[in-house]
A and B are shown apart, each in its own frame.
Chain A
Amino acid sequence: NAGVMQNPRHLVRRRGQEARLRCSPMKGHSHVYWYRQLPEEGLKFMVYLQKENIIDESGMPKERFSAEFPKEGPSILRIQQVVRGDSAAYFCASSTQGFTVTGELFFGEGSRLTVL
């Protein structure tokens, strides 16, 4: 019964390149959330998706960032033309229903992006 799987665990990109982070939710979970954690800071909400739908993207920067959760396959967080300020740990979490029903988000171990 695997947990939330994120890959890659570590990613190094040069400024201007693209970063793609993948998240496979726990089996049976159809709700996915992406959070960003900057060094020495808390978790900042980015986006909430259900299969094929973006429910809330109020935390996503307006430019360069996008997310999807297709009918088949993992959720993907895509960052185009990365800049040094994008260096952070990106966490994916999943739940069976909206977390306010179940009370819990299950987090992956994160993808740590370093932009040179």
Chain B
Amino acid sequence: QQQVKQSPQSLIVQKGGISIINCAYENTAFDYFPWYQQFPGKGPALLIAIRPDVSEKKEGRFTISFNKSAKQFSLHIMDSQPGDSATYFCAASIKGASKIIFGSGTRLSIRP
């Protein structure tokens, strides 16, 4: 119930293509869904986040799509660039909770 399942484990996309990473959860009490980006040797950094009262949130080339009934959410990276190559983590938490639960991560490589 406290897990967030993320797929794929790794992803290779051509420059200019669309990168899509999917996550699923079981606990309907989750009400905050952030995505974190991590470059090699660095700590994760918040990329974009959504709450379940909206179905989509867009910030530049990054979009979160949220399907509350299916308990799934995904990250779309449009016009993917080599600089987007990183590990991406989806996550979830409950309002008032003391921790964020992270997915297992997706290693994204953008080929020039």
Contacts and interface: CB of A to CB of B under 8 A. Distances in A.
Interface of A: 4, 33, 35, 41-45, 48, 55-56, 58-59, 91, 93, 98-100, 103-105, 107-110
B31 to A, nearest CB: 8
Contacts of B29: none
B45 A107 contact: yes
A56 B98 contact: yes
Interface stretch (B11-19, B53-61, B88-96): B88-96
A4 B42 CA distance: 12
* Highest count of chain A CB atoms <10 Å: which of B42, B45, B99: B99
Given A56-B99, A105-B100, A100 B45 contact: no
Given A41-B104, A56-B98, A99 B93 contact: yes
B43 A41 contact: no
Interface of B: 6, 32, 34, 36, 41-46, 49, 89, 93-105
List the 5 closest pairs (A to B, CB-CB), nearest first. Answer: A107-B43, A56-B98, A42-B104, A45-B99, A43-B102
A26 B91 CA distance: 22
B89 A42 contact: yes
B93 A91 contact: no
Contacts of A4: 43
Given A107-B44, A110-B42, 13 more contacts: A41-B104, A42-B103, A43-B44, A43-B102, A45-B100, A58-B99, A93-B43, A100-B97, A103-B32, A104-B46, A104-B49, A105-B46, A110-B43
